[in-house]
């Protein structure tokens, strides 16, 4: 323990010695009956708690806590998080100096308690002027494997991955959008545990590992977002995957209307997937069971309920450092072509918030056009007179905030490199002279893109990440479309 730490009682600072620190922790252990042990850079409180019988709580019961003051410890933190429910385990990440590392993991005994903790403690003022971030923490058990020969079938990939790594449970492979007899050049490998996935990644990550004579790409797959049951019960939109590119929206609507004429409100098709909007949820659920696995234009389709996701919340978790540090891809962009998509297809996510507030009936935010009738009165305006919600581009959003804060416009500098397979990869460096200082003179993401547009968006989002955190910008209320690598 450090010899001195700062404690806060009733809003007043005072110095707390290492001996007092230890006394406070011993008092907490005596009061609660929980054990505490420090190992591998973290201090575990509980896990299991006194009298616990049976297996640990299921997946989804743990939350990640960020922005913890470095001199705050379990004797202050545990009582705060006990407000949401019974704590199974509290893991505080520690430095060798004795200070904490600014984040922790809290596992509750039920998912409901974890969700309550997020609702009541996210952005909670833990000390005067100090606000913590709380979000769900999920152990990632899935790896992305890229540069796979496109002629390989699921069974071949599964067998090969079982040969070279341990703990493989399943392999997820998607057919090519243009040739359904081939895969897309990548797969997702599901492991029995996060540890098994981590060990497999460690073995495969050096970049020299080959499958079928090909050097493969390996990284963590982006974890799927969990949606609460109450929200899913309101969904009346189906996500349809594995369509032929040539299949039209009219054909899809006609096929889904066959089981009940007039049930489909509209269809939005994008490349080889589509959203089918129903007037009634019951019809959507019935159509899902009827249409899943059916053939449309020769392609066997997959049909699921579209998962609403709060894009603003997800984005702000990235910005505020509320994603678990074990999730190594805080900002992940993607090429839209086959073979480089690092997350499970995301089109099944629909936004369910406007301006950060839940809507009783989740609105669907999408770009659209309206008829421009002759004689319509037009008024000249400046883009800077609009609200931030009018911008769907991170680059435009960055320009908007620079103007609002009387900063110089962002300057973009383009750089390139070449990948192992000969592709030109791009990245932008952004300089905002007005806000440049010794600690942050420019903004450059750690991911490369294959198109100029994606590289610019990625750099702008990365700059916004740091500017909001450092300069306390207002909430970034834009339609954030995050490409996947």
Mind listing the pLDDT tens digit for each residue in 228-279?
Answer: 677 788 899 999 998 998 999 999 999 999 989 999 999 999 888 899 999 9
What ranges in 299-389 are assigned the alpha helix state H? 311-319
Q: Where are the beta strands (DSSP E) in 116-180?
A: 124-127, 130-136, 142-146, 168-175
Q: What is the pLDDT of residue 484?
A: 35
Average pLDDT, the chain: 78
At the topology level of CATH, where does 142-220 sit? Alpha-Beta Plaits (3.30.70)
- Say yes or no: do domains 142-220 and 385-471 share a fold: no
Eight-state DSSP code of residue 93: E
- Domain 385-471 fold is Double Stranded RNA Binding Domain (3.30.160)
Give the whole-angstrom CA distance, residue 184 versus residue 146. 9
Supply the pTM of this predicted model.
0.48
Written as six digits, the tokens of 76 are 């202050």
Structural domain boundaries in the chain? 24-136, 142-220, 241-305, 385-471
Beta-strand runs (E) in 317-391: 349-350, 353-354, 357-358
Q: Which two tokens stand for residue 442?
A: 């420019």
pLDDT at 434: 64
- Tell the CATH topology of 241-305: Alpha-Beta Plaits (3.30.70)
Neighbours of 117 (CB within 10 A): 27
> Looking at per-residue confidence, does 466 or 100 come out higher?
100
Position with higher pLDDT, 207 vs 140: 140
- More confident position, 109 or 434: 109
Give the tens place of pLDDT for each residue, 456-465: 999 998 888 8
Nearest residue to 132 (alpha-carbon basis) of 75, 83, 60, 72: 72
pLDDT at 411 over 60: yes
- Selected from 3.40.1410.10, 3.40.640.10, 3.40.50.2300, 3.30.70.330, the CATH number assigned to the domain covering 24-136 reads 3.30.70.330
Tokens found for residue 248:
């039209």
């Amino acid at each position: 323990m450090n010899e001195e730490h700062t404690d806060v009682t009733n809003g007043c600072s005072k110095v707390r010695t290492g001996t007092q620190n230890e006394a406070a922790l011993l008092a907490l252990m005596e009061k609660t009956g929980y054990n505490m042990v420090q190992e591998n850079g973290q201090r575990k409180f509980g896990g299991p708690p006194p009298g616990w019988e049976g297996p640990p709580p299921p997946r989804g019961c743990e939350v990640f806590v960020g922005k913890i003051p470095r001199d705050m410890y379990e004797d202050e933190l545990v009582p705060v998080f006990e407000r949401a429910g019974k704590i199974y385990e509290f893991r505080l990440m520690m430095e060798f100096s004795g200070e904490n590392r600014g984040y922790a993991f809290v596992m509750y005994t039920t998912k409901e308690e974890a969700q309550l903790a997020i609702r009541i403690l996210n952005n909670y003022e833990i000390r005067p002027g100090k606000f913590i971030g709380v979000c769900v923490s999920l152990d990632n058990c899935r790896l992305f494997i890229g540069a796979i020969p496109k002629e390989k079938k699921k069974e071949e990939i599964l067998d090969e991955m079982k040969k070279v790594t341990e703990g493989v449970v399943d392999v997820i492979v998607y057919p090519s959008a243009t040739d359904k007899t081939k895969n897309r050049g990548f797969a997702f490998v599901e492991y029995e545990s996060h540890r098994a996935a981590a060990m497999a990644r460690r073995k495969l990550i050096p970049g020299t590992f080959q499958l079928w004579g090909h050097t493969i790409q390996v990284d963590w797959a982006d974890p799927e977002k969990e949606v609460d049951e109450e929200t899913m019960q309101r969904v009346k939109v189906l996500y349809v995957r594995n369509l032929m590119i040539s299949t039209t929206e009219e054909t899809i609507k006609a096929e889904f209307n066959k089981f009940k004429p007039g049930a489909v409100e509209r269809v939005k098709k994008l490349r080889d997937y589509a959203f089918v909007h129903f007037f009634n949820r019951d019809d959507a659920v019935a159509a899902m069971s009827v249409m899943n696995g059916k053939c449309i234009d020769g392609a066997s389709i997959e049909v699921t309920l579209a998962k609403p996701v709060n894009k603003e919340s997800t984005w702000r978790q990235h910005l505020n450092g509320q994603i678990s540090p074990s999730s190594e891809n805080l900002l992940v962009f993607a090429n839209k072509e086959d073979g480089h998509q690092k997350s499970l297809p995301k089109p099944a996510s629909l936004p369910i918030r406007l301006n950060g507030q839940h809507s009783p009936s989740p609105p669907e935010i999408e770009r659209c056009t309206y008829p421009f009738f002759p004689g319509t009165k037009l008024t000249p305006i400046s883009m800077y007179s609009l609200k931030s919600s009018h911008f769907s581009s991170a680059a435009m959003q960055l320009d908007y905030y620079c103007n609002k804060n009387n900063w110089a416009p962002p300057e973009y500098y383009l750089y390139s490199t070449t990948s192992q397979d000969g592709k030109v990869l791009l990245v932008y460096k952004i300089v905002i002279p007005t806000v440049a200082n010794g600690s942050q003179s420019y903004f450059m993401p750690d991911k490369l893109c294959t198109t100029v547009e994606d590289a610019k968006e990625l750099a702008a989002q990365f700059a916004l990440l740091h500017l909001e955190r450092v300069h306390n910008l207002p909430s970034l209320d834009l339609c954030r479309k995050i490409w996947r690598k």
